[in-house]
Amino acid sequence: MSSEHDGRRLRVAVIGTGMIAGVHVRAAAASGAEVLGVLGRTPARSEQVAAQLGLPRGYASLDEVIADAPDVVHVCTPNGQHHPQSLAAIRAGIHVVCEKPLALDPAQADELVAAAAEAGVVATVPFVYRYHPIVREIRARVADGELGRLLAVHGHYLQDWMLDEDASSWRVDPSSSGVSRAFADIGSHWCDLVEFVTGQRFVEVSAATDVVYPTRPAASGPSFSGSPDPDPVADASERAEVTTEDTAVATFRTEAGRIGNVVISQVSAGRKNRLWFEVDGTLGSAAFDQEQPESAWFGTDRGAQIVVRDPSQGVPDQRRLAMVPAGHPQGYLDAFTAFVSDTYEAVRGGSPEGLPTFADGARAAAIIEAVVRSAAARDWRTIG
């Protein structure tokens, strides 16, 4: 497909009708695209959510989506559907944005990477925490050597939406979500962000996982509030065995031989979306908290300072992503819109800095697989 679009608005379709699909619709519109419609699990669901989001069409099938010939398809369905839906769009010559995890295993993810390259389409994954401007500030300072030689990296990603033993979701069902839940869902974000900021890859891992409740309600409830029309809350009277983890701890070795460590949890009371990391070097340290995304902590052996996002100063990449003046908070939706805007720039032939592609999604799939296998065998695993 040509990257030339004659200056017209890109035409976009969204597959999925849950909370994250609504985020994609809003980010696409904010990025200047024409959102044609949405595809849900049934034609009636598609029409219902299209009306709620003010979109012109609810599609009846994936074939209808492809026949409408959008420039870009956003895949926002349960994990098990990512591979077939993305592959169908790619083979039709359509650019794709696919939610993570990109696929249920590395082989499927690698197939999507190869298919996108062969078709010549842009294919991206919403690792959107890269798009908080202050993250780019930390990344640039690390690359410029301000922190010195990397000594350690550590952090956590904590949520509490699965704290209640009667909480459930399609994510609990491995046939829909895959063999990993907490690490695939949020641990993948932490690993991508830390590798992106440090410029160093993890090469091996030793992990442990835990299922805190042996059963949960069998029916699927909403993953998070915010969907235009969430599925019914799960019925706690019918329960199913839980095989996917609620918590995980992973210790990594970087390609430079240093140690990294992360704690992942979806059962940490009061923690809504606490993605936090710290990078420690010979000259200084830097820390970022996604729940306080407008600032970063920088420390040396002489003290510490808080650096706030400011488009009037700082590195060019931070300033590029700063949408409003300092003191006017930017957040998750702004980061998401910046990611979508960069994807559309790539569709038009540009090369935006730091855009996460299907190759990054495949990288995450390899890390997830190594974590799962390490936890099962209680040993160190090489990350493919």
Ranges of each domain in the chain: 11-128, 130-382
Q: CB-side exposure of 198: number of CA atoms within 13 Å?
A: 30
Count the Cβ atoms, other than its own, within 10 Å of residue 261. Answer: 14
Count the Cβ atoms, other than its own, within 10 Å of residue 176. Answer: 16
User: How far is residue 222's CA from residue 220's CA, in Å, rounded to a whole number?
Assistant: 7
- Which residue matches tokens 């379709």? 13
CATH C-level class of 130-382: alpha beta
* Predicted local distance difference test score (pLDDT) of residue 2: 43
* Predicted local distance difference test score (pLDDT) of residue 169: 86
Q: Read off the pTM.
A: 0.94
Preceding omega of 101 cis (within 30 degrees of 0)? yes
The CATH architecture one would assign to domain 11-128 is: 3-Layer(aba) Sandwich (3.40)
User: How far is residue 291's CA from residue 237's CA, in Å, rounded to a whole number?
Assistant: 35
User: How far is residue 362's CA from residue 298's CA, in Å, rounded to a whole number?
Assistant: 32
* Predicted local distance difference test score (pLDDT) of residue 6: 65
- Which residue matches tokens 């606490």? 274
User: How far is residue 78's CA from residue 101's CA, in Å, rounded to a whole number?
Assistant: 10
* Predicted local distance difference test score (pLDDT) of residue 259: 98
* Predicted local distance difference test score (pLDDT) of residue 238: 84
Q: What's the chain look like in SS3?
A: CCCCCCCCCCEEEEECCCHHHHHHHHHHHHCCCEEEEEECCCHHHHHHHHHHCCCCEEECCHHHHHHCCCCEEEECCCHHHHHHHHHHHHHCCCEEEECCCCCCCHHHHHHHHHHHHHHCCCEECCCHHHHCHHHHHHHHHHHCCCCCCEEEEEEEEECCCCCCCCCCCHHHCHHHHCCCCHHHHHHHHHHHHHHHHHCCCEEEEEEEEECCCCEEECCCCCCCCCCCCCCCCCCCCCEEECCCCCEEEEEEEECCCCEEEEEEECCCCCCCCEEEEEEEECCCEEEEECCCCCEEEEEECCEEEEEECCCCCCCHHHHHHCCCCCCCCCCHHHHHHHHHHHHHHHHCCCCCCCCCEHHHHHHHHHHHHHHHHHHHHCCEEECC
Beta-carbon contacts of residue 139 (< 8 Å; ≥ 6 apart): 196, 197, 199, 317, 354
Tokens of 111: 């197939």
pLDDT by position in tens, the chain (length 384): 444 566 789 999 999 999 999 999 999 999 999 999 999 999 999 999 999 999 999 999 999 999 999 999 999 999 999 999 999 999 999 999 999 999 999 999 999 999 999 999 999 999 999 999 999 999 999 999 999 999 999 999 999 999 999 999 888 888 888 999 999 999 999 999 999 999 999 999 999 999 999 999 986 655 554 444 454 445 557 898 999 999 999 999 999 999 999 999 999 999 999 999 999 999 999 999 999 999 999 999 999 999 999 999 999 999 999 999 999 999 999 999 999 999 999 999 999 999 999 999 999 999 999 999 999 999 999 998
